[in-house]
């Protein structure tokens, strides 16, 4: 007999079990990564493994607290919490302490708190509230803008700190919008822009422009159902380009190929625009707009890379994309991380037997690079176990989210899933050299209270909502 | 309900795909790609290699021949370098700034992690000074190595030299690392595994700051260093030195063996070079100089020069003739200034006629031994010359003429005793006979032997019918015995009883009356048996050859002397052999005037031997 109003009877114990396994195994690895420094037992609170025990204890209390609160509390107070959060984020900019070049920490007593971590869960609450508000329609432009604003404001405040990793995490909320009906085409476009971003770093701008023009012409041919028209337009562009190039050469004005290419596009673009306006044929103009958006994107990316991103961030991206190779410099972290993981072999060197992690070859070995300890000491068996653990956990979360009658609960659940997923992808991806080194922790594994509490909070709010799934209808 | 429920599958599939990509990647770097394990080792382990001292080499009488001196290499690990005062470094090591930078760059090019040699064989004083100031030069350290030293600059061909390992060995033998030393030739090469010992190492754990943390896994991977084993060679240092001294004006070779054991007492190849030249950092330069020397001092004539044995080979012809029973000691042949059949003619010198076998050896009569060859090849036991010839060749095989004898050195060459098929090919089957190949009877023509084969032939006669493969090492420290193959008696296909008359003939060559060809090899109180030879040389003066052993009963030494371009065997080869025997058996040479004469330190006085008693071999047509 299902007890409708009992939280504990309706709790998803499978998730809690997986959560405990992750925290437990994570702590074992934090212990191993720090054991060399001192050996005063596991309750040595001057050591990270000792501190982490405190964080874990606290997170248990936090979990209880989350469960004790009424499910409706999260719904009704979500906006209030969100506004409170924005205040805190502003506060940290003013009163926070700078650690590792990022002013994102409050220091209370001996403990450091990173409010941007908690922001994720609260943003998810606010987003869920918005998307479930009366007559909300994601298809409507201004409604979408509202949702995007809720997502974008916290990272914009965080960006002032600045912490690229957190900003990246917020982009994961777009996945939530996707689940709630956000256009698949737009998602594809975003993916295309991502691809364009990577290629714009890899290739010369002029070359990308050439590819874009070719692709646009092909699309044009398909839409206009005429190969001839496409070829004629292409030929005109090429001829204008040739003339401009010749003038540029003769006058020695030294405009770049990219600029000449842009100029060469102008006549054709003008003709299409004028024709399209007159005939009220917008199909061709849409293609043109796509091209222009792409070009603007490349230019802004170029500016962003060179002006906004800090040199070390640029380097990390370049190293990850294989444009630069520098095993002693920026690539050092990734290189050492791969060595540690790779040296684990199939079954690992044995618990507490890792040399690479213990001898500090791997940087940030108990926080962002905790996965190295797993890889080195537990081998492929261990790393597979962790990945399957996450897979199981995330799929379980999808299952839970999808069984909600309440959209609020589902949206919040997907918020959690998306944030977990991006952490999982970026963190493990960077330790094995598939992602740039962006310092975001591995949920439930990495050392650190803020991260552990955030995800615990996230999970248990969701589990609390899930436990009330039979009551909540909105 | 929500109309986008199906999008959950997009999430599920995406999550599973990510997991799959991660697991494939992890499988690749953890299971397939083994290189990360190596990186991890070189990251965390600091291996300090301990080089053992190379084994010492003694001569047969226990005198030390080769020992070690310490050498100091300045090593460098580019990864650990920290800015330092280049000027001071250059001052300490006495090198120029450019040279220092070049050395740095080549070390960096080799490897940033693995230590390589910055400067080889620094003097003790410089190394000590450097060690004192080493705290200023992070990334450098001093590696102690040993270099060879020689008590006397002799026996370079037999001992060989030690040099750095080359790429081929690095690729094939895992023991060696770049910059290690290895025996390159001679005894050093043949007994490399005994002499080198076993490198030791201690493995430390180090952290990212390259600080040594502790012994790695409690020293489980440490290897104790094993000092190289000492060797006792069969060489007699004094005899070797004396032989090199006597041969110093000449090109040629002297090989002296102890007949009963096959031990090499002296192995002289002239001209020679000082073994000190091929040591340490000058090796390359000196080797280059020696390699372009027109007299080719690097060429080990004792093992590699293929010479016609000349008249010394008549002893072997006699042995085979007796064994095949086609002649007896009473067989006589006439000779009037040579051998004549039709218009075929091989000259001979003036001597009494007819001669029996022993007298023929004593007088070295060409005609007689061409007749012996005739008897052997026309033996009715065989259906054809070719068959008889191959039987003759079978005897030579048993005496070690057809294959290298198997001394420790890998560069030993074989002589040349062509099989019957060779003559079949040249002249056509059944279109050749004893006349065609008569020069073989007097050790000329196609017949070629190496000096060590000639010495072995002498030892075989001294032993009356067996030999033991010549070898250079008598004892290896820590081993019960040397290789079995140097204990095995090879009996020849000629019966012991047939050796007696030949030994008597060789006795008469030196100790006989008029007609003896080498009375100048006589030693007061010692019965020396010998045989002269003169090999025709189409390129210049004839080669002077002499083989001898002594004493006649219970021989202690068998010797073969080959002096290029010095004419009759009696002129120089016989005196050299005689002096060597005297030196070995009495340990001092009383005939110093003779010694000086041999070495051409005094103007040649009239040779002891009269002109008409000198053998004059093989003047054809």
Per-position pLDDT tens, chain A of length 474: 456 667 788 899 999 999 999 999 999 998 888 875 555 666 777 778 888 999 999 999 999 999 999 888 999 999 999 999 888 888 887 777 666 655 666 776 666 677 777 888 999 999 999 988 888 888 888 888 999 999 988 888 876 765 667 778 888 998 999 888 888 878 888 888 878 877 777 677 888 888 888 888 888 888 778 788 888 888 988 898 889 888 888 887 778 888 888 888 888 888 888 888 888 777 777 788 888 888 888 888 778 777 777 777 777 666 656 556 555 555 677 778 888 888 888 988 888 877 777 666 677 777 888 999 999 999 999 999 999 999 999 999 999 999 998 889 999 999 999 999 999 999 999 888 888 777 788 999 998 888 899 999 999 999 999 998 888 776
CA distances from B553 to B265, B463, B500, B530, B584 (A): 19, 10, 11, 13, 16
Model pLDDT, residue B612:
38
B11 touches A at CB < 8 Å: yes
- The Cα A277–Cα B107 span in angstroms is 70
Which residue in chain B is spatially nearest to A375 when comparing CA positions? B30
The CA-to-CA distance between both ends of chain A, in Å, stands at 24
Residue B139 near residue B79 (C-beta atoms within 8 A): yes
Q: Which two tokens stand for residue B85?
A: 């005062």
Q: Which residues in chain A have their CB less than 8 angstroms from residue B10's CB? A: 178
HEC sequence for chain A:
CCCCCCHHHHCCHHHHHHHHHHHHHHHHHHHHHHCCCCCCCCCCCCCHHHHHHHHHHHHHHHHHHHHHCCHHHHHHCHHHHHHHHHHHHHHHHHHCEEECCEEEEEEECCEEECHHHHHHHHHHHHHHHHHCCCCCCCCCHHHHHHHHHHHHHHHHHHHCCCCHHHHHHHCCHHHHHHHCCCCHHHHHHHHHHHHHHHHHHHCCHHHHHHHHHHHHHHHHHHHHCCHHHHHHHHHHHHHHHHHHHHHHHHHCCCCCHHHHHHHHHHHHHHHHHHHHHHHCCCHHHHHHHHHHHHHHHHHHHHHHHHHHCCHHHHHHHHHHCCCCCCCCCCHHHHHHHHHHHHCCCCCCCCCCCCCCCCCCCCCCCCCCCHHHHHHHHHHHHHHHHHHHHHHHHHHHHHHHHHCCCCHHHHHHHHHHHHHHHHHHHHHHHHHCCCCCCCCCCCCCCCCCHHHHHHHHHHHHHHHHHHHCCCCCCC
Alpha-carbon Rg of chain A, whole angstroms? 26
Output the furthest CA–CA distance in chain B (Å, rounded): 136
**CA dihedral angle for residue B201, residue B205, residue B207, residue B209, rounded to 10 degrees:** -30
Which residue in chain A is spatially nearest to B19 when comparing CA positions?
Answer: A387
Closest by CA position to B59, among listed B190, B182, B147, B151: B151
Burial B365-379 (b: 16+ CB within 10 A, else e): bbbbbbbbbbbbbeb
Which element (helix H / strand E) includes B473? Answer: strand B473-476
Three-class SS state of B444: coil
Nearest CA in chain B to A328: B79
B2, B7, B40 ranked by CB distance to A343: nearest: B40
Question: Smallest Cα–Cα separation from B57: which of B240, B220, B208?
Answer: B240
Mutate which: A139, A355, A358, A421, vs B, most B CBs within 10 A: A355
Q: Do B26 and A387 touch (CB under 8 A)?
A: yes
What whole-number distance in Å separates Cα of residue B597 and Cα of residue B572?
Answer: 9
Burial of B209 (C-beta count, 10 Å sphere; 0-12/13-18/19+): exposed
**How far apart are the CA of B205 and the nearest CA of chain A, in angstroms?**
8
Q: Does B214 touch chain A (CB under 8 A)?
A: no
Q: Which residues of B touch A443 (CB under 8 A)?
A: none
Q: What are the chain A neighbours of B80 within 8 Å (beta carbons)?
A: none
Closest residue on chain A to B28 (Cα): A342
What's the pLDDT score for residue B143?
A: 80
pLDDT of residue A192: 82
DSSP result, B524-556: TTB--EEEEEEE--TTSSPEEEEEEEESSSS--
Asked whether the beta carbons of residue A336 and residue B43 sit closer than 8 angstroms, the reply is yes
Distance from CA of A341 to the nearest CA of B (A): 7
Residues A342, B23: C-beta atoms closer than 8 Å: no
Considering only CB atoms, B30 lies closest to which of A179, A375, A391, namely: A375
Residue of A54, A44, A56, A52 lying closest to A20 (CA atoms): A56
Residue of B nearest to A349 (CA): B37
How near does any CA of chain B get to the CA of A17, in Å? 20
Q: Do B207 and A429 touch (CB under 8 A)?
A: no
Tell me if residue B342 falls in helix, strand or coil.
coil
Hey, is B187 helix, strand or coil?
A: helix
Q: Measured between alpha carbons, how far is B424 from A405 in angstroms, rounded to an integer?
A: 107
Q: Which residue of B has its CA nearest to A376?
A: B30
Residues of chain B with pLDDT under 50: 1, 604-621
Q: Which of B14, B37, B39 sits opposite A345 (nearest CB)?
A: B37
A207: Cβ contacts below 8 Å, ≥ 6 apart: none
Closest by Cα among A285, A327, A446, A430 to B39: A327
Q: Where are the beta strands (DSSP E) in B94-133?
A: 116-122
**CB proximity B9 to A under 8 Å:** no
**Structural domain boundaries in chain A:** 7-182+385-467, 192-309
Chain B residue with Cα closest to A473: B1
CA-atom Rg of chain B in angstroms: 33
**Cross-chain CB nearest to A356 (options B2, B16, B43):** B43
A407: closest CA of chain B, how far (Å): 8
A398 interaction partners in chain B (CB closer than 8 Å): 8, 11-12, 15
Measured CA to CA, the distance from residue B310 to residue B400 in angstroms comes to 17
The 10s digit of each residue's pLDDT in B513-541 is 777 788 888 888 899 999 998 888 777 78
Find the angle CA(B492)-CA(B495)-CA(B500) to the nearest 5 degrees.
110
Question: Is residue B21 within 8 angstroms of chain A, CB to CB?
Answer: yes
Size of interface A-B (CB pairs under 8 A): 116
DSSP single-letter state for residue B449: B
What is the structure's pLDDT at B569? 66
Name the residue in chain A with its Cα closest to that of B33: A342
Characterize the bridge pairing of strands B57-58 and B231-233: parallel
Q: How many residues does chain A have?
A: 474
Cβ contact, residue pair B30, A380, below 8 Å: yes
User: How much is the pLDDT for B619?
Assistant: 38
Kindly determine whether residue B30 and residue A342, on different chains, have CB atoms separated by under 8 Å. yes
Whether chain A has a CB inside 8 Å of the CB on B210: the answer is no
Q: Which residues from chain B sit within 8 angstroms of residue A338, using beta carbons?
A: 29, 36
Contact (CB<8Å) B15/A388: no
Query: What's residue B611's pLDDT?
Result: 37
- Measure CB to CB from residue B8 to each of A336, A359, A402 and give the nearest one: A402
| Closest Cα in chain A, distance from residue B47 (Å) | 15
Nearest CB partner across the interface for B43, out of A361, A398, A421: A361
Q: Which two tokens stand for residue A318?
A: 């370049």
Q: Which of A233, A232, A236, A259 is nearest to A248 (CA)?
A: A259
C-alpha distance from B39 to closest chain A C-alpha (Å) = 6
The distance of B137 to chain A (nearest Cα, Å) reads 21
**A344, A394, A402 ranked by CB distance to B15: nearest:** A394
Distance from CA of B209 to the nearest CA of A (A): 9
First to last CA, chain B: 123
- With beta carbons less than 8 A apart as the criterion, state whether B134 and B142 touch: yes
Please judge whether A180 and B2 are an interchain contact, meaning their C-beta atoms are less than 8 angstroms apart: yes
Contact with chain A for residue B495, Cβ under 8 A: no
């Amino acid at each position: 007999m299902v007890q409708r109003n009992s939280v504990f009877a309706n709790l998803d114990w499978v998730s809690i079990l997986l959560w405990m396994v992750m925290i437990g195994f994570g702590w074992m690895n934090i212990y191993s990564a720090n054991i060399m420094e001192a050996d005063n037992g596991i309750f040595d609170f001057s050591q990270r493994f000792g501190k982490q025990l405190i964080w874990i204890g606290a997170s248990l209390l936090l979990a209880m607290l989350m469960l004790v609160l009424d499910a409706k509390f999260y719904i009704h107070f979500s906006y209030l919490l969100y506004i409170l959060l924005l205040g805190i984020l502003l506060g940290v900019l003013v009163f926070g302490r700078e650690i590792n070049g990022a002013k994102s920490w409050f220091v209370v007593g001996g403990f450091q708190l990173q409010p941007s971590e908690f922001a994720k869960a609260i943003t998810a609450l606010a987003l869920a509230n918005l998307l479930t508000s009366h007559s909300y329609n994601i298809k409507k432009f201004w409604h979408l803008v509202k949702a995007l604003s809720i997502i974008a404001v916290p990272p914009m405040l965080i960006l002032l700190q600045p912490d690229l990793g957190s900003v990246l995490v917020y982009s994961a909320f777009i996945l939530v919008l996707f689940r709630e009906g956000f256009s698949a085409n737009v998602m594809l476009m975003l993916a295309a822009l991502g691809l364009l971003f990577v290629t714009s770093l890899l290739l010369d701008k002029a070359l990308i422009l050439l590819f874009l023009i070719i692709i646009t012409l092909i699309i044009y041919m398909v839409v206009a159902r005429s190969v001839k028209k496409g070829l004629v337009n292409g030929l005109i562009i090429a001829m204008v380009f040739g003339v401009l190039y010749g003038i540029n050469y003769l006058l020695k004005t030294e405009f770049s190929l990219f600029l000449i290419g842009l100029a060469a596009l102008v006549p054709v673009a003008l003709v299409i625009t004028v024709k399209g306006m007159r005939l009220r044929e917008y199909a061709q103009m849409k293609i043109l707009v796509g091209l222009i958006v792409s070009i603007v994107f490349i230019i802004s990316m170029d500016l962003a890379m060179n002006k906004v991103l800090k040199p070390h961030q640029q380097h990390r991206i370049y190293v990850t994309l294989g444009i630069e190779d520098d095993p002693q410099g920026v690539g050092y972290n990734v290189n050492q991380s791969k060595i540690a993981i790779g040296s684990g072999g199939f079954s690992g060197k044995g618990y507490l037997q890792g040399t690479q992690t213990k001898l500090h070859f791997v940087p940030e070995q108990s926080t962002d690079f905790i996965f190295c300890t797993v890889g080195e000491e537990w081998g492929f068996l261990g790393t597979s176990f962790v990945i399957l653990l996450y897979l199981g956990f995330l799929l379980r979360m999808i299952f839970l989210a999808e069984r909600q009658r309440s959209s609020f609960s589902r949206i919040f659940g997907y918020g959690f899933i998306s944030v977990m997923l991006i952490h999982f992808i970026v963190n493990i991806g960077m330790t094995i050299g598939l992602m740039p080194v962006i310092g975001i922790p591995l949920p439930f594994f990495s050392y650190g209270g803020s991260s552990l509490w955030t995800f615990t909070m996230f999970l248990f709010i969701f589990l609390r909502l899930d436990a009330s799934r039979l009551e909540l209808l909105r | 309900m929500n109309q986008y429920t199906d999008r959950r599958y997009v999430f599920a599939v995406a999550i599973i795909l990510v997991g799959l990509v991660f697991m494939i990647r992890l499988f690749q770097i953890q299971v397939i790609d083994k290189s990360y394990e190596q990186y991890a080792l070189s990251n965390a382990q600091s291996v300090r290699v301990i080089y053992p001292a190379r084994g010492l080499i003694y001569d047969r009488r226990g005198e030390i021949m080769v020992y070690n001196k310490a050498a100091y290499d300045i090593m460098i690990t580019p990864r650990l370098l920290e800015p330092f005062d280049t000027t001071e470094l250059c001052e300490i090591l006495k090198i120029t700034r450019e040279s220092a930078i070049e050395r740095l760059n080549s070390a960096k090019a080799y490897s940033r992690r693995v230590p390589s040699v910055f400067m080889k064989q620094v003097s003790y004083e410089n190394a000590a000074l450097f060690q004192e100031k080493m705290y200023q030069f992070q990334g450098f350290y001093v590696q102690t190595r040993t270099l060879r030293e020689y008590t006397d600059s002799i026996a370079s061909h037999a001992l060989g030299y030690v040099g750095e390992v080359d790429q081929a060995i690095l690729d094939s033998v895992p023991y060696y690392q770049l910059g290690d030393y290895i025996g390159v030739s001679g005894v050093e090469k043949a007994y490399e595994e005994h002499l080198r010992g076993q490198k030791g190492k201690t493995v430390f754990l180090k952290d990212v700051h390259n600080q040594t943390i502790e012994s790695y896994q409690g020293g489980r991977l440490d290897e104790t260093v094993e000092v190289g084993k000492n060797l006792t060679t069969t060489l007699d240092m004094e005899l070797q030195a004396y032989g090199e001294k006597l041969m110093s004006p000449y090109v040629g070779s002297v090989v002296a063996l102890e007949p009963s054991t096959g031990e090499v007492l002296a192995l002289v190849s002239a001209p020679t070079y000082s073994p000190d030249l091929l040591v340490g950092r000058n090796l390359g330069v000196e080797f280059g100089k020696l390699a372009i020397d027109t007299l080719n001092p690097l060429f080990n004539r004792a093992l590699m020069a293929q010479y016609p044995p000349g008249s010394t080979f008549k002893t072997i012809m006699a042995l085979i003739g007796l064994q095949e029973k086609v002649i007896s000691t009473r067989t006589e042949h006439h000779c009037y200034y040579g051998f004549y059949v039709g218009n075929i003619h091989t000259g001979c010198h003036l001597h009494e006629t007819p001669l029996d076998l022993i007298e023929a050896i004593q007088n070295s009569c060409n005609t007689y031994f061409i007749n012996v060859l005739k008897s052997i090849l026309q033996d009715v036991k065989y259906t054809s010359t070719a068959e008889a010839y191959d039987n003759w060749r079978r005897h030579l095989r048993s005496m070690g003429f057809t294959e290298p004898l198997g001394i420790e050195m890998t560069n030993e060459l074989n002589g040349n005793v062509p099989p019957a098929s060779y003559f079949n090919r040249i002249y056509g089957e059944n279109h050749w006979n004893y006349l065609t190949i008569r020069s073989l009877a007097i050790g000329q023509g196609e017949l070629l032997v190496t000096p060590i084969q000639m010495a072995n032939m002498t030892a075989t006669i001294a032993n009356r019918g067996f030999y033991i493969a010549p070898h250079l090492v008598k004892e290896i420290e820590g081993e019960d015995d040397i290789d079995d193959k140097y204990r095995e008696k090879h009996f020849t296909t000629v019966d012991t009883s047939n050796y007696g008359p030949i030994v008597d003939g060789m006795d008469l060559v030196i100790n006989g009356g008029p007609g003896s060809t080498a009375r100048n090899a006589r030693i007061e109180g010692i019965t020396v048996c010998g045989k002269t030879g003169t090999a025709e040389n189409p390129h210049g003066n004839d080669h002077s050859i002499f083989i001898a052993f002594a004493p006649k009963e219970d021989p202690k030494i068998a010797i073969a002397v080959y002096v290029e371009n010095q004419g009759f065997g009696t002129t120089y080869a016989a005196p050299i052999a005689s002096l060597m025997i005297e030196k070995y058996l009495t340990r001092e040479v009383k005939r110093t005037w003779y010694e000086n004469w041999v070495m051409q330190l005094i103007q040649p006085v009239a040779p002891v031997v009269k002109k008409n008693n000198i053998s004059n071999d093989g003047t054809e047509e």
